[in-house]
Structure formats: structure tokens, C-alpha cells
Amino acid sequence: MSSEQVDDTGAVVPVPETVTRIVSLVPSLTESVAATLPGALVGVTDWCSHPADLDVTRVKGTKNPDVELIRRLRPDVVLANAEENRAPDIEALRAAGVPVWVTRIETLEEAFASLARMFAGACRTGRPGWLDRAEESWRAPYDGPRRSAVIPIWRRPWMVAGRDTFTGDVLARLGVDNLYAGHPERYPKIPLPELVAAGPDLVVLPDEPYAFSATDGPESFPGLPCALVSGRLLTWYGPSLTAARPALEAALSAGLSAGRAGPGTPA
């Protein structure tokens, strides 16, 4: 028997009273379910990398899931995200009779509330202990000096985090203010000379979606301190949030302490 539940987008989702088969189309939600309901996942995307030993059916990517394969897996519910997954794929799954629960998360507070709602309404389970620990780890407000930053997420072309992003909210809670938070686009393409000319206190370079590294990224920002951070800790909402704050604080501090980057050849 199913009952109607309401997801983050306001859609009514028919979810069975007992959920034992879940397909996740979002890497962070995959990690969240794996840590909470071992054995419930029957399908995940090719990009779902945590836990590393997860051995279930792969249903292609977040932007091109195999709808027919997912239907054949007979999931009780499919977990998706309004930003990471395309509306046509979600609608195709629903048209095939597959319940799809869609999350919408742009801030830490939304992450905590959305995950609690997802576990209760879509997964039919209690609030996981790791979620309480994650929320507690972020409870204390930041009280140090504030810094400005640009946050590239891609190069060739250069793209940065803009308005209303989870990434921007996480950094703001660590005293780092996104210079492009007021941009009309969420992930605008900004020419490199403009990024350099903006003169941020710090350039934050995550290792996903683009794999920035010590030899790929900092050379494009001569004279600007660069912090290399874990993209998973900066952009995923799930069990990673329990350890994200101290790790990100350490990475940001290291970037600032390194001082001015050496000259390089922008690309």
C-alpha cells in the first residue's frame, strides 16, 4: 500500500509504506542512503563514488539516466535533485509509473531539513544519527575575519559559483564571501581576466566537477592566494557534512597562509 507524500518541489509522490528498493540519481543522496539503509540501494548513477565498495546496478549519468533500466529495477522510489537531474528525465520516470522524490537544496539549513524529510517521507525510516552530528558540527556561528573569494568550478571556459548555491552558503558560514553571489546566473561563465581583476582575497579551487589541483588552476591566478579544497566536502549534502567543517577550515587557512601565488601563465 502506498500513501501520498510531498517532496521539496511540492510534487505529490506515492510512496509505499515499506521501502526496500531505492534508486538514487544523486551522488550525495546515494552516500546518504548507503550510510542509513544498507542494502536498500538497487541502482545508482555512474558518478556515485561513495561508498567506494557500492556494488549495485549503474543507471548511467545524472543528466542521462537509463529510464527503461530504472523501470526494470522496480524501485519503490527514485531519489533525484532539482539542480542535478533534468526535468524531462524525472517526468519520463513518473510517466512510466515510477515514484520520484525530488530534493531542492541551496543552503545548509535546507540540506538538513530536506534530508530529514526525505528519510521520513521517501525512505520510510527514522532520522539518521549522522544527520544530527552533521547539524551539530555546523551549529556554532563563524566569528572570525571575513574574506572575499571567487570559486571556479570549471575552466575552458571558466565558470564560477554564482547566486543561490550550496557551495556559496557553505563558504559564507566559514567566513568566505562569494564575489559573484549577486550574479543573475547560478553558474556564470566569467572570462579569466575578469576573475583576476576582481581581486578576491582568495581563490577557492575544488577538485570537482573540474579536478583543480596544485598544478592545474593556481597558475592562472598569479598574485592571488589559492585554496585547494575537496569538492565532495564543499558541495555534497550527506554524511560528508559531519567532517566537512574542520577540513574545509584547514584548507582555506592553508590557502591564505601560503600567501601570494607565484607567477604563471593563465589559460
Specify the amino acid at residue 104: R
* Residues 6+ away with beta carbon under 8 Å from 12: 4, 5, 6
Written as one string, the DSSP assignment of 224-238 is S-EEEE-HHHHH--S
Look at residue 3 in the predicted model and tell me its pLDDT. 86
> Where in the chain are the domains?
2-127, 147-257
Whole-angstrom CA distances from 5 to 16, 101, 221, 244, 250 are 10, 9, 48, 31, 40
pLDDT at 146: 97
Contact 101, 124 (CB under 8 A): no
pLDDT at 224: 97
**CATH for the stretch 2-127:** 3.40.50.1980
Q: Whole-angstrom distance between the N-terminal and C-terminal Cα of the chain? A: 57
Q: Domain 147-257 falls in which CATH fold? A: Rossmann fold (3.40.50)
Name 81's bridge partners. 103
Task: Provide the whole-model pTM.
Answer: 0.92
Grid coordinates 521539496 are at which residue? Answer: 8
Q: Give every strand in the sheet of 22-24, ordered side by side.
A: 57-58, 41-44, 22-24, 77-81, 100-103
Q: Which residues of the chain have pLDDT under 50?
A: 260-267
Residues in Cβ contact with 31 at an 8 Å cutoff, skipping those fewer than 6 apart: 48, 50, 51, 236, 238, 239, 240
pLDDT the model gives residue 260: 45
d(CA 31, CA 50) in angstroms, rounded, equals: 5
Cα–Cα dist 139/245, whole Å: 11
